[in-house]
Amino acid sequence: MARSEPPIFETDGLTKRYPKVTALSGLTVSAPPGVVGLVGANGAGKSTLIKILLGLVRPTSGRASVLGMDTATQGPRIRQVVGYMPEHDCLPPDVSATEFVVHMARMSGLPYAAARERAADTLRHVGLHEERYRAIGEYSTGMRQRVKLAQALVHDPRLVFLDEPTNGLDPRGRDEMLTLIRRIGSEFGISVLVTSHLLGELERICDHVIVIDGGRLLRSSALRDFTQATSVVAVEVEEGAQALAARLAEAGEAVTVDGRVLAVQVSADDPGRTFDAVRDAVCDLDLRLIRLEQRRGRIEDIFTKEVA
Ligand SMILES: Nc1ncnc2c1ncn2[C@@H]1O[C@H](COP(=O)(O)OP(=O)(O)OP(=O)(O)O)[C@@H](O)[C@H]1O
């Protein structure tokens, strides 16, 4: 979606203090439409922000709005047009996914027939088929996450908040969940705010990423700005990494070694010089070159600041 469209949410000096901890501290940020990642370690304040945006928790100070609606006064209206997948397991074990999702659709105001139809469509969309008639108590973690996602989508929201949707999933389950989330954004045109404490996990599905730490904003940027090419080139050789590093250092290049991979700082004045030096050194030492590529930034780099 175009960046000029109104933000999906905005906060201004948002602070939430609990008796023993400040969960959010003067957070001022705005999120464009599309798939937006909210990234931060456990306890960074992600769930608190989502609950404030839904009008479920009152901030200590500051303000927030969702789709132009003030969270302090328009919570019920916000919850009508926003779907919410909570972090923790909150599903009744004794009913089937179909019964539960139909119930949630009815709660949001759909008549019975429409609720059944929407529930069937949504459960199919999240990949629950025959299993949808079994009791939720018999489901795997991945299936339970899908039910939580389905109930967030069933009332055809304009925006969904997904709090740690990959929690508890194995790598394959994570991959499938991330693909589903990307489809919600691209095929259905629903904006998504999705959180994760795994800093790199959302890189492949987000348009925009907000990073928070200790309740404070670290960075809010389009994903492409996080993953721009850096001034470091990675050189991987089959053997002889140390010898290559020594040769490049002699030639005046700044280089570090990590196993078989060298990170070489590209000369700002004369980038060609660095690439020529790598080529010549690999040739002179008669090494087998596996990979030569310009490093791209990653979301984690905000925390480690390793890459220039
Ligand atoms: N109701 C509450 N009462 C007291 N402290 C709370 C409450 N809710 C959250 N906190 C504290 O506020 C801080 C931020 O919590 P929050 O759940 O927003 O973090 P998070 O980034 O979502 O992390 P996680 O993924 O681990 O939930 C934590 O230190 C947490 O213990």
pLDDT tens for 152-201 read 999 999 999 999 999 989 999 999 999 999 999 888 889 999 999 987 88
ipTM of the complex: 0.96
With 70 as the cut, is the pLDDT of residue 252 above it? yes
> Three-state DSSP class for 268?
coil
Q: How far apart are CA 130 and CA 110, in angstroms?
A: 24
CATH number of 9-225: 3.40.50.300
**Chain mean position to CA 225:** 15
Residues 6+ apart with CB under 8 A from 283: none
Name residue, tokens 């000096």: 13
Q: How far apart are CA 48 and CA 265, in angstroms?
A: 40
The pair of structure tokens assigned to 33 is: 């439409």
Contact 210, 271 (CB under 8 A): no
| pLDDT at residue 307 in the model | 37
How many CA atoms does the CB half-sphere of 245 hold within 13 Å? Answer: 16
The sign of the dihedral angle between the CA atoms of 19, 21, 23, 28 is positive
**Tens digits of residue pLDDT in 194-223:** 999 987 888 889 999 999 999 999 999 998
For residue 21 and ligand 1, the question of a CB distance below 6 A is answered with: yes
For residue 51 and ligand 1, the question of a CB distance below 6 A is answered with: no
Share of the chain above pLDDT 90, in %: 73
For residue 25 and ligand 1, the question of a CB distance below 6 A is answered with: no
Share of the chain above pLDDT 70, in %: 97
Residue 197 alpha carbon, nearest atom of ligand 1: 25
CA 22 / ligand 1 centre spacing (Å): 9
| pLDDT at residue 4 in the model | 64
Helix (H) or strand (E) holding 292, with range, is strand 289-296
Closest CA to 180 of 130, 143, 146, 133: 146
What are the residue ranges of CATH 3.30.70.980 in the chain? Answer: 229-305
Residues 6+ apart with CB under 8 A from 216: 25, 26, 27
For residue 214 and ligand 1, the question of a CB distance below 6 A is answered with: no
For residue 48 and ligand 1, the question of a CB distance below 6 A is answered with: yes
With 60 as the cut, is the pLDDT of residue 41 above it? yes
Residue type, 168: G
Ligand 1 mutation target, pool 47, 195, 217, most atoms within 8 A of CB? 47
Ligand 1, atom 12, lies closest to the CA of 23
Higher-confidence position of 224 and 191: 191
CA 229 / ligand 1 centre spacing (Å): 35
| pLDDT at residue 146 in the model | 95
Q: Which CATH number fits domain 229-305: 3.30.70.980, 3.40.50.300, 3.40.50.1220, 3.40.50.720?
A: 3.30.70.980
Q: How far apart are CA 127 and CA 177, in angstroms?
A: 10
What are the residue ranges of CATH 3.40.50.300 in the chain? Answer: 9-225
The pair of structure tokens assigned to 97 is: 């996914």
The length of the chain, given as a count of residues: 308
Residue 50 alpha carbon, nearest atom of ligand 1: 18
